[in-house]
Structure 1
């Protein structure tokens, strides 16, 4: 039996959170998704709630306080998440950001699209390529 998919989106932009949640609902209404408004809150939740283990983590790069690269570095230190793929989800399309994120341990990089339909297609492909969180 296939495990239900759960996502954790770490993004300070409420509009981007809503678009991401809408895309997931349209893709598959059974996908659960939690959001954190910044890296500090995300890490606090993950460290305090040991039962919380999302299938996928999506992380924005440009956030106040703790940016996505700093948060990624800290996420990689949490042992129970070592097999959880972390994808950068950012407006950046800079190749340097992609390379640096991969060096820090990101599984992949999604540039925030202008169309919800594009995001639905990206997420569908990602879930096919990383079933249950792993390739």
Structure 2
């Protein structure tokens, strides 16, 4: 039996989280999706040893409290978490910011999808390629 893939979405926009989770359900039955409303909550969940670690983290860059950059830095500093690929969602098209985030350890940097089909294809594409 194939083990399920665990995705973790971190976004302060409830509609965007709901859209992502609904689109992911269409990608496959073996994909589980959990979420956090900001970077602070995400780090609490990720650092709790009682929780299963996700296979991928989808992280909004612009959030209150602990923003996406701060969250990414904390993830990449933690020996237990640093191997998890982090896909950055943003509304920014700033090439320098994209470069900075890649240097900080982001796995991928993409414009925030706004429609379920975009999310479906994005998640399908990312899951099709094994990460190391």
Q: State the Cα RMSD in Å.
A: 1.5
User: Corresponding residue for 2:31?
Assistant: 31
- Paired with 2:46 and 2:100, the residues of 1 have a C-alpha distance of 23
User: Corresponding residue for 1:107?
Assistant: 107
User: Corresponding residue for 1:127?
Assistant: 127
- Paired with 1:79 and 1:50, the residues of 2 have a C-alpha distance of 16
Where structure 2 has 5 or more consecutive residues not aligned to the other structure, the ranges are none
- Paired with 1:46 and 1:34, the residues of 2 have a C-alpha distance of 11
- Paired with 1:129 and 1:17, the residues of 2 have a C-alpha distance of 23
Give the drift of 1:89: 1.6
- Paired with 1:52 and 1:79, the residues of 2 have a C-alpha distance of 15
Q: How does 1:53-132 map to 2 (within 5 A)?
A: 53-130=53-130
With the length of structure 1 as denominator, give the TM-score of the two structures.
0.89
Give the drift of 1:4: 1.3
With the length of structure 2 as denominator, give the TM-score of the two structures.
0.91
Where structure 1 has 5 or more consecutive residues not aligned to the other structure, the ranges are none
User: Corresponding residue for 1:3?
Assistant: 3
Assess if the C-alpha contact under 8 Å between 2:10 and 2:36 holds in 1.
yes
- 4+ residue stretches of structure 1 with deviation over 4 A? none
Give the drift of 1:51: 4.0
- Paired with 2:91 and 2:49, the residues of 1 have a C-alpha distance of 29
1:48 aligns with 2:48: yes
Number of corresponding residues: 132
